[in-house]
Structure 1
Amino acid sequence: MIALGDDVRRLTALAQIAGVLIIGTVALGNSSAWADPPGPGHVVGVNPTTPPTDHCPHRSATPPAVDTSEVPKPGATTPRPLPLQMPPAGGPRLSTCGVVVADGMGQPPARLTSAAWLVADLGTGDILAAKDPHGRYRPASTIKVLLALVALDELHLDAPVSVHRAEYETEGDSCGTGPRGHYTNRDMVTGLLMASGNDCAMVIARQLGGVEATLGKMNARAKDLGALDTRAASPSGLDAPGMSTSAYDLAVIFRAAMANPTFREIIGTRQYRFPGYPPRPEIPGDPDHPAYEMVTSNNLLAERFPGVLGGKTGYTDDALKTYVGAARVGSREVLIVQLYGLSTESSSYWAQAKDLFRWGGRAPRGATVGTLAGRQAADPATPPRVPVAAPASPAPAESSGLFDNSLVLGLIAALVVGGLGFLGIRTLSRH
């Protein structure tokens, strides 16, 4: 009779470890295993209240579109998802797709509906808490912050500009521009940030060399800042093929913008007298369009939420509600990002923003789960330069970037075979 009890127990434990590693490897390496299966009441492409993200459903690509806004034009193709960055920008704790909170922060506010959010210290760049910080989502009009950064670098704000018909007829929110109006680039950037004017965005894009040249400059600036989850596909934030950002990236971009005194002044403006334009001759009986008092679309600023410094809103059918902004709470300037969210009967999106600001303001000193690593420009005339990690190789987007599956599986196989060999040697030695 051969006494195999100890060896069997060792081999059983070895097999259990191998099984756990194999399951974990498959879950990490196959993006289809990360997607949340539709549950009760879950509609594909529509955000349920407080959508789960722990299994990284948006690690490499944005949520499914609900309309045709991202269907490529004839002859064009949808850009591939941006490469995944491992380790993630901002620190290893930001590799999570669930909620990560710094010590001493307590629980996040209740009734948050955003699929992704982030709370940080604007001054130090310390990230205090986040949910799915590197998940890919659509920015909607929050991408106008990136456009404003490029415009403030390149345009003379007091230079006069005209407005073309295709620009003042652009779909979506409008500054109220019109033909033969007398405008400056300052009016355009102000209308871009205060009223989220898509007409102003297109005028700025023309000043920067056209839509394609502008997108190239916006994406180069995002890369320069280390915002590697971001691809601007339209200057205004209207959904277009390949559009992408993350909570981390928007925080980095907004923090860089807030280091520019002109941006900080404009984003914190409640009212601005925006120029009008004369009657349009092609419209019989068209009245004069006088200058008017433009009011910010940022409700927190309009309602004078205590300490608010400014922020940028966004919404499209595919992006849902988005927001990035900052407020002084106590002795800290708190920066927040909200992506892919909703207002509900019991919790408006503005109420959720206020809760995040107040919660961030109560964070203890030294609290951090990561950092907004992008360098900020103290002088707006000198664009910030950030060393950017080498892009990931053009591997299929399904790769998790965390482990090389073949290597891990090979090690597991070697471990199991080695264990079997060990048991065989021990058994033969007892004959």
Structure 2
Amino acid sequence: MRTILRVSAALATTAALFATSSPALAQPVGEPPAVTTTPFATPSTDDCPFVTSPPPAIDLSEVPKPGETVPAPRPVPADPVGGSQLGRCGTITPDDAPPLPADISATGWVLSDLDSGDVIAAKDPHGRYRPASTIKILLALVALDELDLDKVVVATAEDANAEGSAVGIGKDGVYSNFQLMQGLVMASGNDAAHALATQLGGDAAAVEKMNALAESLGALDTHTATPSGLDAPGMSSSAYDLALFFRAALENPTFAALISTETVQFPGFPKDPSIPDDQDRPGFILSNDNQLLYNYEGALGGKTGYTDDARQTFVGGAQKDGRRLAVTIMKGDVLPIRPWEQAARLLDYGFALPPGTSVGTLVEPDSVGDVTSTRATAPVPALAVPPADAGSIARASALETSGDTAIRVGIGAIGLLVVLGLMLGARQLNRRR
């Protein structure tokens, strides 16, 4: 009965949210218009609110289906991946660096050097957020590794009707895997993601492969729940992990070419004979949805993302004076400027700093071992540079609390087993009598 009441309360709360703020149920393509009369302030993360899990969902996307188990949050490593300074949750900048540019309103972000692996500056780099369609970078890496790009497939109704943003695949349309990759990367098509995931063994198999790849890249904040980036129970990543994915993806020349392509011709599809007076759909020009590519000199391209729960996410990079820098943004908004414009300002900031400027590093693939301990169960290492701040203390406190909770749950479970054993013994004795 209590479970039913909790579910009812949750649904009532959600209904109230929808009644007051009316968030869109659909997960749109691109960025919503920047229209507001309310001043916007950068969210504070100094107290490490997202050290273990993303912010609470505002819709029903993460309500588990009947019989579905919600994955536990990924363990938090005892030593922050990429260096001790990256264990902090607020803004992290190099010593004696100039102030950060104005109007950077994203909740978490990482500015990194793609070649050296230096993390130049960051804000809540390991904070856990929903990645939205930026997780398609991970799907692209798996597909590029496993699928024949010249293979031709016929799209199904399930492909065409995939939830969310679409490139425009139609039932019985004929596409090469390379064209599906164009639809995935350039236009963030969930229909293309479904068609590729099907060839990888289906959504569940594709997700498993994506999570295995994330682990091998050292991305320990990431749990993929859907191939396309649609929100689902357990979905989690971080600005740091997205930087790892982007760096690895740019080492693949096909991916690098895809994200830097502005327009391509994309196939149409035949009419549906079950629909009266339906017509064949002609091919069309597919345009890249990443505005950084068109508006920033030396842009390498990148990936956009948006859902109601994730808000704006963005990955982008550029090359200048022999250096390649990247910016990853999570839980952003179009205020006061759009995510790609925030990325452009951070890129300008990074290019103005001398090479070698660093507050941490992007780890190399397979350089991070299995996480068998967390800061909840192991001593929290003191930060040598810089000294522990309020955010570090809050992070350690949050992890210690979760560790104490786990111990209490374990003791309670053992006690329950003992009680059940005694009850069964007494029942057996009564039967004998």
Q: Cα offset for 1:354?
A: 1.1
Query: Are 2:353 and 1:363 aligned?
Result: yes
- Tell me, yes or no, if structure 1 residue 392 matches structure 2 residue 373: yes
2:259 corresponds to: 267
**Within 1, Cα distance between the matches of 2:85 and 2:402?**
20
Residue 73 of structure 2 is aligned to residue 71 of structure 1: no
Q: Distance in 1 between matches of 2:43 and 2:119?
A: 22
Cα distance, 1:401 vs structure 2 = 4.8
- Equivalent of residue 148 in structure 1, options 129, 140, 146: 140
- % identical equivalent positions: 48
Of 287, 297, 300, which residue of structure 2 is paired with 1:295?
287
Match of 1:330 in 2: 321
Aligned to 2:100: 108
Q: Any residues of structure 2 matched to 1:28-67 within 5 Å, and which?
A: 49-67=41-59
Report what 2:80 is aligned to: 88
Note closer, same or farther for the CA distance 1:404–1:184 as it changes in structure 2 (3 Å cut): closer
State the TM-score, normalizing by the size of structure 2: 0.77
Which consecutive segments of 4 or more residues in structure 1 shift more than 4 A? 393-406
Say whether 1:171 aligns with 2:150: no
Would the aligned equivalents of 1:104 and 1:364 in 2 still touch at CA under 8 Å? no
Q: Displacement, 1:365?
A: 2.1
Stretch deviating more after TM superposition (195-204 or 361-370): 361-370
CA distance in 1, matches of 2:89, 2:76: 13
Q: 1:306 aligns with which of 293, 297, 300?
A: 297
Aligned to 2:341: 351
Query: Does the 8 Å contact 1:102/1:369 carry over to 2?
Result: yes
CA contact (8 A) 1:329 1:358 kept: no
Q: CA RMSD in A?
A: 2.3
- Equivalent pair of 1:60/1:398 in contact (CA under 8 Å): no
Amino acid paired to 2:41: T
In the alignment of these two chains, the number of paired residues is: 351
Contact 2:200 2:206 in 1 (8 A): yes
Q: State how far apart, in whole Å, the 1-side matches of 2:312 and 2:186 are.
A: 17
Aligned equivalents of 1:73, 1:168: Cα separation in 2: 23
SS at 2:56's partner residue? coil
Amino acid at match of 1:355: R
After superposition, the Cα gap between the structure-2 partners of 1:400 and 1:281, relative to the gap in structure 1 and judged at 3 Å, is same
Q: 1:399 to 1:154 in 2, by over 3 A?
A: farther
Contact 1:188/1:204 (<8 A) preserved: yes
Alignment partners' CA distance in 2, 1:178 and 1:240:
25
The answer (yes or no) to whether the contact 2:77–2:374 under 8 Å persists in 1 is no
Q: Which amino acid aligns with 1:339?
A: M
What is residue 257 of structure 1 aligned with on the other side? 249
CA distance in structure 1 between the partners assigned to 2:397 and 2:70 by the alignment:
19
Q: What code does the residue aligned with 1:116 have?
A: G
Change in Cα spacing, 1:405 to 1:311, as seen in structure 2 (3 Å) is closer
Higher mean alpha-carbon deviation, 346-355 vs 284-293, is at 346-355
Give unpaired runs (5+ residues) of structure 1.
1-42, 376-384, 407-431
Q: Output the CA distance in 2 between the equivalents of 1:282 and 1:104.
A: 68
1:211-230 alignment to 2 at 5 Å?
Answer: 211-230=203-222
Matches within 5 A, 1:119-138: 119-138=111-130
Q: Separation in 2 of the partners of 1:316 and 1:265?
A: 26
Q: Distance in 2 between matches of 1:105 and 1:394?
A: 30
Following the alignment from structure 1 to structure 2, what is the Cα–Cα distance between the partners of residues 348 and 335? 17
The SS at the match of 2:85 is helix
Question: How far 1:238 sits from its partner (Å)?
Answer: 0.4
Give the drift of 1:374: 2.5
**Residue type at the aligned position of 2:347:** F
Kept in 1, the 8 Å contact 2:134–2:303? The answer is yes
3-state secondary structure, aligned to 1:322 = strand
String of CA shifts for 1:173-201, please: whole Å, max 9, x gaps: 11111122121110111110000000000
Q: Which residue of 2 aligns with 1:193?
A: 185
Amino acid at match of 1:291: G
Of 61-70 and 163-172, more deviation after overlay is shown by: 163-172
| Matched-pair contact (CA < 8 Å) for 1:137–1:246 | yes
CA contact (8 A) 1:223 1:388 kept: no
Name the amino acid aligned to 1:309: L
The 1:235–1:330 alpha-carbon spacing in structure 2 relative to 1, beyond 3 Å, is same
Q: Do 1:160 and 1:183's aligned partners in 2 also have CA atoms closer than 8 Å?
A: yes
Other structure's SS at 1:251 match? helix
Relative to structure 1, the CA distance from residue 398 to residue 214 in structure 2 (aligned partners, 3 Å threshold; closer, same or farther) is farther
Per the TM alignment, residue 393 of structure 1 is displaced from its structure 2 partner at its CA by 6.1
| 1:305-351, Cα deviation, whole Å (9 max, x unpaired) | 2000010000000000000111113332111011001112x422222
The answer to whether the Cα contact below 8 Å between 2:75 and 2:371 also exists between their aligned partners in 1 is no
Match of 1:379 in 2: none
Q: Does 1:280 align with 2:261?
A: no
What SS class does the counterpart of residue 180 from structure 1 fall into? coil
Q: Judging changes above 3 Å, is the alpha-carbon distance between structure 1 residues 398 and 88 closer, same or farther for their aligned structure 2 residues?
A: closer
SS in 2 for 1:152: helix
Contact 1:239 1:318 in 2 (8 A): yes
Match of 2:333 among 330, 342, 347: 342
Q: Which runs of 5+ in 2 are unaligned?
A: 1-20, 24-38, 378-394, 405-433
- Distance in 1 (alpha carbons) for counterparts of 2:359 and 2:305: 27
Q: Which has the larger radius of gyration?
A: 1
Displacement after TM superposition at 1:77 (Å)? 2.5
How far apart are the structure 1 equivalents of 2:403 and 2:256?
46
Alpha-carbon deviation of 1:267? 1.1
